[in-house]
Structure formats: structure tokens, C-alpha cells
Structure 1
Amino acid sequence: MADTDKQQLSMAASAIAMRGVSLFLSAGRAAAERRVAATATAPRSKQPKPVVPGSRPAQKIFDILLKSTRFNKNELEALFTMYRKLVTAAQGITPNTAIGQPPAKVDGIDQSTFRDVMHNTFDLVTEEAILERMWVTWERGSGGGEGALKFEAWVKGLSRLLRGTDDERVAHCFAVYDLNNDGYISKDEMFLLLKNSLLKQPGDEDPDEGVRELVELVLKKLDVDKDGRVSVKDYRDAVDQEPLLLEAFGQCLPSRRQASAFLKTLNSKA
């Protein structure tokens, strides 16, 4: 690679790192502000609303998960305890409807809870666009749609997120970055993802031009067959050669350290 390309990549990496630090510092404040705002605006009912925790699935679901995920029996029990607490907490803070009626109970992990878990439990300090894509692309099973995550779907997704094979991790990241779900990461999608990730530098007259240049550099690394877009095969081949390219367009996996810490905590509760 030419020295100019190396220098540009180094500058881009520095910019991404700076953005990560900025997001890390603001994430805690943002989460606290959301909780305060929710508390302040939620109508108060005279009688406390009954809270119905997530119902326990049939034993056959646990048996299926024991075979289809990388969690053992004790870990599955600990994960269900966590799941039930998350569902209960979310149901407890849901405000009444506009006419004062109790809201419909959502038996599952809703999007707000999902976002908080990714931020606070797995330390995914990333763009909202990435979290939105993680939510949308999370496998919900047949007929699951984009609704709340039931226990089975939640656990299967966590298995891939925390103990996934290299192929599963590649497939996860690719699905997140493939914004229009057409099986390719296009230059336009790269532009949108990188524009959200990079800090605008003081004095930049046309910050978009810098993003376009970075897109061209990244495309050279990822577009193995040189057709102007990145297929999942291109992406897998490029990551095999350079693992750092796995999260080239934004963090969508917990770090190995964070995953290990969570699993250790999970086992201590099992």
C-alpha cells in the first residue's frame, strides 16, 4: 500500500478512535437523561400497576436451547432470571395511555430495553443507527417480525453475540451493515455508516469529501472481486486476511473482554 494510503488510513483510524472516546463519555450521561426524562413525563396512577414478569417457557424450550446454543443448563437458568428481570422492569416503568388506561403488557425484550442492555451491559458505545440495525436484524424465529424478543430468540442471539464462531460473527456484522438487506454493502451504505462514525474535523470545508475518500480506501480492502460493492464472500475473505476489518463500519459486537466478563458474571449467578 502506498505511503499516502497508509497515512490516510491511520488518520481515519484516529478519527474513529476519537469518536469512540466521545461516545463513551456521553453514553452514560445520555442514559441517565433518558431515565430522568421518562420518570418526569410518565403519568402517575393512584394505584400501582401489577407487574407480570416474563412467563417461564416450557421445559422443551430449555432443552432445545441447550442443544442449539453454546450455553449450559445453569447459564440458561441465569439468562432466564436476567430476562425476567428485564421484562419486569420494562413493564413497571411503562406509562399509562393518553386516556389513563394501563398499557398493554409486552412480554419480551422491547427495543428500549435492548438498547440499554447493549450500552450498559455489553459496553457497545456505538451509533444509534448501528443499534437500530442490530435490533432489526436480530433473529426472532418464524413469524417473529420486528416485535419484542421472546426468551428463545433472545438467548439464541446472545449465543452468537458472545460465543459465535468466526462465520457467525461475520454474518452478524454484515447483516448490520447491509442497510437495505440486498446482500451487498454498497458504496452509499459505506458512506452513511462512516459519516455517522467519524468526527468532523475543525476547518473541514467539505467533510463529506473526506468520507468519500475513506470509502474508496476501505472498498479497496473489502471488494475482493472488484465489482464495486461488497458481497458477504468478499467481506469474509477480507476479514480472514485482516480481522480488524470485521467492524470496519461501526462496533456491533461486544469486545472479547466484555463478553468474557459477562459470562463470568453469568456463571457466578448460575
Structure 2
Amino acid sequence: MSEENPQGSISMRGGILVMKGVSRFLAATRKRSSIETTPPKTKSRRKKMSDKENAFKCLPKITEAIKKETSFSRPEIEVLYKIFKKLVALNRRKPQQGKINPSQTSAVIGKPNAIQEGIDRTIFREVLHNTFDIVTENMLMDRIFCVWDKSNSNLISLESWFHGLDLFLRGSIHAQIEFCFEVYDINADGYITKEEMFQLMKNCLIKHPQEEDPEESVKDLVDIIMKKFDKDKDSKVSLEDYKLTIEEEPLLLQAFGTCLPSDRAKETFLSTLK
């Protein structure tokens, strides 16, 4: 599954900024008042600074809605909102004449019809790689994006951003099971089939040069895994099959590819919210 996106692509420097810029941006914001000395501001300059600060400030109504729907505190919501706006700025571009810019059409929590920006696939990929240590192949990365993008707008909206992070950082095991299953259910029909297992695993496994037919090895592995997961013996894995298997062996939660952050990555990210 190709993810070519020339207009939305970012440079290597941009990718690094996604990884390091967030923490530096937040640290700089906290320290600015104590370490910077600036000349007296004119009225015009003060207005520009005020406008810039307001652009990164989450409205109280939105903050309250997010607080009700997630486990984040008000201070955490403010920080995550700033990060969201920072990431959106990386892929903002002018709308084509006669067309609506997709980065301006996703919904805001509490305002379903409001115009709002979003994070595109390229920036989202960099966030998963560089912030949450999720390094995986294109198909699985695309599936993670699709599951986060509940509005099917081809962007991660503000609402999707907070709900996705809530699951990533503080989601229960039951929520994580449902998330992983939805990611692996490629055609969204409620089942993981052998064909879907094969597609997910064939690009994740290390190919050895001496193997005459690497795909046969993948098929053999899929047969073994299917026997493990298929509790009702109907040659496909339902959500109930998946839940029962993970309850027995929690280490199989991400059997078909990494789609959740490591504990270390979660702890590091949460530390930036304090």
C-alpha cells in the first residue's frame, strides 16, 4: 500500500523536528519568561504576540469536552493541544483554487461542523516513528492511521488526536485489544482471515537469502497462528477469539505487527506533559 504524498512530504530535518521539536517547544515555552530579555514591545508587536499565543490556547469549551471524554487533566490537554497545533503547522498548505483544503475540514470536539485543521499521514508516520518508537511497514502504518481517523477525513482531527493518545498512553487492556484487532482487520468485516494475516506478516518477517520460497514460510507460520487464535474453529479470527487468546497469552496482543507504543516511549512522552 503506497503512501506517496509529494505535497505532504517533509524533509529529514522536518522529521527530526517532529521527534525533538515537541519537547523543545514545550521546554522553551516554560522557560521563556525566565531566560529571555526582550526590548519593550510596541502595541503592534504585543498584539502579534498575543495572537500567536491565542492560536496555541485551547478554548475552555473544547477543554471541558475533551476532559469528559478522555483521562487527560486540563494542564495535559493544554500541552497536547499545543503539540497538535505544532504538528498541523508542519503540513499546512494553501488550498487549491476551487477546492476545499482537507486540512481545514475535520471536526472539533463539541463542534461537529466546525472547520478545523488536521495531521496528515506523513506527519502522523513521523510521530509514530520518532515519538512512540513504532517502526513498521507501510500497510500496518496505514491501518493504524485509518483506525485513528474515526471521521474518515484522511486527517487526524483534534478529536481523533486526543482519543488516539488516550488509548496509546492510558488505554485499558480491553481497549488495546479492540484497537489492535481493528488495525489487523484490514477489510473491516469483523474478522481476521488467513489472507489478512499473510498480508500483515509477509513484510514484517526477516527474509533469509537461503530460503527458496520465503512466502511458504510465512504461510506455514500463519497456519500455526490461526490454530492458536481460532477458538471456534471456523477458519477465521473474530474479536471474541482474539480476546480469549490474549487473555490466555497477553504477549500475543501484537502478534501481527507492532501498533502500540512501548512502555518506555509512553513514559518519556508523558514526562513532557508535566
TM-score, length basis structure 1: 0.73
Aligned equivalents of 2:13, 2:183: Cα separation in 1? 29
The aligned counterpart of 1:134 is 144
Tell me whether 1:247 sits opposite 2:254 in the alignment. Answer: yes
Ranked by relative contact order (alpha carbons within 8 Å, sequence separation 6 or more), the top structure is 1
Q: Are the structure 2 counterparts of residues 105 and 198 from structure 1 closer, same or farther at C-alpha, using a change threshold of 3 Å?
A: closer
The aligned counterpart of 1:85 is 86
Aligned equivalents of 1:37, 1:76: Cα separation in 2? 27
The answer to whether the 8 Å contact 2:58/2:78 transfers is no
Deviation sequence 1:138-188 (CA, Å, 0-9, x none): 153xxx223322212211111011110111100110011000000000001
Unaligned runs of 5+ in 2: 1-8, 15-51, 104-116
What is the CA RMSD across the aligned residues, in angstroms? 2.6
Q: Are the structure 2 counterparts of residues 96 and 72 from structure 1 closer, same or farther at C-alpha, using a change threshold of 3 Å?
A: closer
How many pairs were matched up? 214
The aligned counterpart of 1:35 is 11
Match of 1:146 among 153, 162, 171: 153
Aligned equivalents of 2:12, 2:158: Cα separation in 1? 28
The aligned counterpart of 1:216 is 223
Alignment of 1:65-214 (within 5 A): 65-91=66-92, 94=93, 104=101, 106=103, 107-140=117-150, 144-214=151-221
Query: What amino acid maps onto 1:35 in structure 2?
Result: S
- CA drift at 1:211: 0.6
Aligned equivalents of 2:217, 2:149: Cα separation in 1? 35
Unaligned runs of 5+ in 1: 1-32, 39-50
Aligned equivalents of 1:95, 1:230: Cα separation in 2? 44
Tell me whether 1:265 sits opposite 2:260 in the alignment. Answer: no
Q: Are the structure 2 counterparts of residues 96 and 74 from structure 1 closer, same or farther at C-alpha, using a change threshold of 3 Å?
A: closer
Aligned equivalents of 2:13, 2:264: Cα separation in 1? 32
- Percent identity of paired positions between Structure 1 and Structure 2: 41
Q: Are the structure 2 counterparts of residues 77 and 195 from structure 1 closer, same or farther at C-alpha, using a change threshold of 3 Å?
A: same
Query: What amino acid maps onto 2:141 in structure 1?
Result: L
The aligned counterpart of 1:20 is none
Tell which deviates more after alignment, 57-66 or 154-163.
Answer: 57-66
Deviation sequence 1:197-242 (CA, Å, 0-9, x none): 1121121111111111100111111111111110001001100111
Deviation sequence 1:24-44 (CA, Å, 0-9, x none): xxxxxxxxx961599xxxxxx
Greater share of helix: 1
4+ residue stretches of structure 1 with deviation over 6 A?
A: none
The answer to whether the 8 Å contact 1:191/1:215 transfers is yes
TM-score, length basis structure 2: 0.72
